[in-house]
Amino acid sequence: MQLFKCTYCGQLLYFENDKCERCHHSLGFETERLELLPLIAEPDGRTFQLYGNDAPGSLTYTYCQNHLDAACNWLVPSASATPFCTACALNRTIPNLAEPEHKARWRRLEVAKHRLVYSLLRMGLPVVSKATDPEHGLWFDFLADNSSQGGEKVLTGHDDGLITINIAEADDIEREMARKAMAELYRTLLGHFRHEVGHYYWDRLIDETPQLAEFRQLFGDEQQDYSEALKRHYAQGPPSDWPQHFISSYASSHPWEDWAETWAHYLHIVDTLQTAHAFGLSLNPVGADTSPYLQATISEEPYEQPDFYAIMDQWLPLTFAMNSLNRSMGQPDSYPFIISPPVMEKMAFIHRVCQGAQ
C-alpha cells in the first residue's frame, strides 16, 4: 500500500480515511489515479469535485452507496450507471445488515476487500464484475452460517469467478479457532481474499494460455482429481518434505492450491514492500557487516521492479526487522514463513505473469 497524503494540508492519511483530521475536508478514493483526495462539495451537497480540479465543468463524483453504511470511501463518477464503486460493484451478496453483528463483520470484510482491489488495480490486472462480464467477471458472496439447529455451514471458496467468504472469518475469535483447528501458521481476512482471488486469476491468466506449460513444470499437473487430492491431504497430511517445496502445508495438496497459496504470499510481499518503500525504510542493523543480507534500502517501488529476485533481496531484511519488532511487543512473528528456492521460483513466475498482463 502506498502512503496517502491530503493534498490540501499535507496530513498523512490511512487508506480507509474519509475525512482529514487536520483540515476536515471530506476524502474519497479515486480509482483512475489510485489516490485518496480531498473533495469540494457541490451546492447540492451530494456531489463533489476533486480539490485542485474544481474548475466549472470538471468531472464530479459521488460517494459509493456503501459509504452510507461506513463501509466504503471510494468515489463513483456522477454519470456512472451504477451507484457502487469498482470494489463494491463486485459484491453479489452482502450479509443481512439487520443482524447486530453482521454490519460490523461486513465492514471488516470490506476493508480487506478494498485493499485487495487496490493491489489488483495497481498491478494493472483486469477487475470487472460478473454483472458486466458474466463469463470472465468476478463476484463476492459474503454469507453467514444458517443459525438454525444443524444449519448449513458456509464454506469459503472460489467457483468460476464467484468467491464466497463466510463472515465468521471477520470475527477474531472465530478466525483464531479455525486457524488452530487447521494447524495454520497464519490466517487473516486479507489473506483469504488474496488466496481466493488467486484461483480466479489462474482461470484468467494461466488456463488455456501459453503460460500453462511453465505452470505445470513449477506447480504440477492441475488435471489430477482435485476432490481426491484434498481428501488425501486431510486424511494423510502433507508430505514430510513439504517445507522444501511449498509455502504452506496446504499448498502441497494440489497444484491449484499451491498456486493460490503462493499467489497470496506474492501479494503479501509486494504490498508490504510498497508500504515500506512509501515510508522510505532503510535497514542497517547493528553488526550487519557480518550479515550483509540483512541490510537493505527499499528504494524501488516493487510493482515496477521487473526482477523478482531483487524484490526478495529486500524482503528478507524487512521480515527479519518486522518479526523482531513484533517479538519486542509480545506478538507472534508478522511473517512466520521460510521461502525456499523452489517457492521463490514459483513467485518469480507469478511476478512475470502479472507484469505481462498489465
Q: For 117-163, how does the pLDDT look when each residue is reduced to its tens digit (9 = 90+)?
A: 999 999 999 999 999 999 999 999 999 988 765 678 899 999 999 99
Q: Kindly compute the dihedral angle of the four CA atoms of residues 37, 38, 41, 45, in this order, to the nearest 10 degrees.
A: 80
pLDDT above 60: residue 341: yes
Residue 185: the pLDDT is 84
Buried b (16+ CB within 10 A) or exposed e, 33-57: eeebbbbbeeeeeebbbbbeeeeee
Beta-ladder partners of 39: 50
Per-residue confidence (pLDDT) for residue 288, from 0 to 100 = 65
**Residue 55 pLDDT level (bands cut at 50, 70, 90):** low
- Report, as an integer, the average pLDDT of 177-203: 92
pLDDT at 57: 64
> pTM of the predicted model, to two decimals?
0.94
Residue 197, pLDDT above cutoff 90: yes
296-319 residue pLDDT tens? 899 889 999 999 999 999 999 999
pLDDT of res. 294: 85
pLDDT at 148: 61
Mean pLDDT of 318-329: 96
The percent of residues in the chain predicted with pLDDT above 90, rounded, is 85
Would the pLDDT of 334 be above 80?
yes
Taking only the tens place, the pLDDT of each residue in 200-236 is: 999 999 999 999 999 999 999 999 999 999 999 999 9
Structure confidence by residue, pLDDT tens digits, 56-112: 667 899 999 999 999 999 999 999 999 999 999 999 999 999 988 999 999 999 999
- Average the pLDDT over 312-328 and give the result: 95
Average pLDDT, the chain: 94
Quote the CA–CA distance of 346 and 251 in Å, as a whole number: 12
Rounded percentage of the chain residues whose pLDDT exceeds 70: 97
Which position has the higher pLDDT, 53 or 61? 61
Report pLDDT for 259: 98
Confidence bin at 290 (pLDDT 50/70/90):
low
